[in-house]
């Protein structure tokens, strides 16, 4: 088994580390731009989610746009980004509508219009729901987002997840390359019969699924390759632990396994090509 090193991962405590945990599904809440509005909005929405889970980066950005109350175009962009992020996180349209209506009621108390007619509140909610529906329809067309052999996400899902993480980094003004990275497991199963190749894939997938349970994205973009997307600061330890997990696994006795780490690129499509192994980017 081999380990190949990319650039050193971002150190623990680097800028935005609390936000990174939220981006990959952990429970630490990000820094709040508009705490009071966020908490009033959460209460008014009637959401069953606890505040720390409900107040993700897209919610934070939308509350900040409403709290500033200066740029109608920025408000609309934040609404669209919020709705798209909610759709990507599998929130149903009813909960998204409830959130948007609750925010609009807070922003237009008793008919008071701080934007002087530049924003139609009903149209704003409709715009958000349309954005949700667009993402949901795309996901529905890609219903095969789970690889049936390994139970990990497919290449299509990985591509969309990478785009989402790049977008969230852009919204937070942090560098994707300094924020996220990926652990890659490459399998050389050329000497195995087809049933044994499947057994090797399943064995690796099971160990990765058991190791990563805190919101990391696990995908199998190719039959001989598996990817774990996670915050860069935890990658060095993760590589070591995965190498230990895979050592001595019977199904891998005749398989050359390479565990490596790759950083995010500046562009989401370049990141996907690198992680999926389709035209590696140096």
Q: What is the pLDDT of residue 27?
A: 44
3-state DSSP call for residue 221?
A: strand
Specify burial of residue 27 (Cβ count, 10 A radius: 0-12, 13-18, 19+). exposed
pTM of the model: 0.52
8-43 residue pLDDT tens: 444 444 445 555 555 554 444 444 446 888 899 999
pLDDT score at 111? 60
CA separation, residue 193 to residues 196, 198, 254 (Å): 5, 9, 11
For the stretch 58-114, pLDDT in tens is 888 898 888 777 678 888 899 999 999 988 888 888 899 999 999 988 888 766 666
- Residue 44 pLDDT > 90, yes or no? yes
pLDDT by residue (tens digit) across 170-191?
888 889 999 999 999 999 998 8
> Has residue 143 got a pLDDT over 80?
no
């Amino acid at each position: 088994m081999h380990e190949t090193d990319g650039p050193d991962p971002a150190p623990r405590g680097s800028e935005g580390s609390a936000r990174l945990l939220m981006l990959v599904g952990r429970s630490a809440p990000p820094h709040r731009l508009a705490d009071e509005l966020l908490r009033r909005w959460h209460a008014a929405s009637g959401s069953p989610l606890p505040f720390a889970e409900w107040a993700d980066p897209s919610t934070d950005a939308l509350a900040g746009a409403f709290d500033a109350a200066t740029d109608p175009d920025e408000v609309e962009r934040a609404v669209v980004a919020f709705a798209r992020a909610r759709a990507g996180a599998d929130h149903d349209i009813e909960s998204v509508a409830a959130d948007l209506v609750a925010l609009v009621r807070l922003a237009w108390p008793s008919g008071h219009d701080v934007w002087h007619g530049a924003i139609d509140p009903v149209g704003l909610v409709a715009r958000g729901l349309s954005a949700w529906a667009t993402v949901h329809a795309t996901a529905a067309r890609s219903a095969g987002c789970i690889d049936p052999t390994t139970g990990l996400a497919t290449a299509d899902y990985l591509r969309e997840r990478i785009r989402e993480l790049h977008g969230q980094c852009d919204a937070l003004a942090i560098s994707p390359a300094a924020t996220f990275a990926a652990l890659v497991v490459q399998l050389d199963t050329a000497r195995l019969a087809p049933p044994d190749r499947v057994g090797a894939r399943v064995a690796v997938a099971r160990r990765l699924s058991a190791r990563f349970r805190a919101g990391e994205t696990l995908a199998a973009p190719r039959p001989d390759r598996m990817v774990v997307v996670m915050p860069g600061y935890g990658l060095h330890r993760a590589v070591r632990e995965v190498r230990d997990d895979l050592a001595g696994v019977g199904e891998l006795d005749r398989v050359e396994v390479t565990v490596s780490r790759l950083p995010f690129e500046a562009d989401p499509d370049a990141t996907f090509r690198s992680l999926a192994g389709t035209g590696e980017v140096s």
